[in-house]
């Protein structure tokens, strides 16, 4: 899922404790109750990109199947700023496409 700055707090990110209740980087937390992933799946029904690549952090595992939603999901600036503090930076430089291909899937 791709997020964009703007709007109210995102429900999913709120359930995950963002912006103020998220664990420190490397720590874990328990989420009480259910998390409704239907809204996450719905965004992919609007279209997505797909490619085979690898992880961008060690161990840089290959043959990872990436699905990237075409549409961005709005979230508050506070949530996205908090999320960016939790995510480790990419340690692998961009690589050439070589024989890899992207595909776009959109509903009819």
The per-residue pLDDT for range 25-83, each reduced to its tens digit, is 778 888 888 888 887 888 999 999 999 988 887 888 889 999 999 999 999 999 999 98
Mean pLDDT of 79-91: 81
Q: Once rounded to an integer, what is the mean pLDDT over residues 81-103?
A: 81
The two tokens of residue 99 are: 């024989």
User: Which residue shows structure tokens 């503090």?
Assistant: 85
Cα–Cα distance for residue pair 14/99, rounded to 1 Å: 40
Q: What is the pLDDT of residue 69?
A: 94
Neighbours of 79 (CB within 10 A): 25
């Amino acid at each position: 899922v791709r997020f964009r700055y703007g709007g109210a707090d995102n429900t999913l990110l709120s359930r995950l404790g963002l912006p103020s209740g998220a664990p420190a980087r490397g720590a874990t937390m328990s989420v009480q109750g259910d998390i409704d992933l239907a809204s996450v799946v719905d965004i992919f029904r609007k279209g997505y990109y797909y490619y085979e690549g690898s992880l961008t952090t060690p161990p840089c595992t290959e043959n990872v199947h990436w699905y990237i939603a075409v549409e961005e999901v709005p979230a508050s600036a506070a949530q996205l700023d908090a999320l960016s503090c939790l995510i480790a930076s990419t340690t692998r430089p961009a690589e050439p496409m070589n024989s890899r291909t992207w595909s776009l899937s959109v509903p009819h």
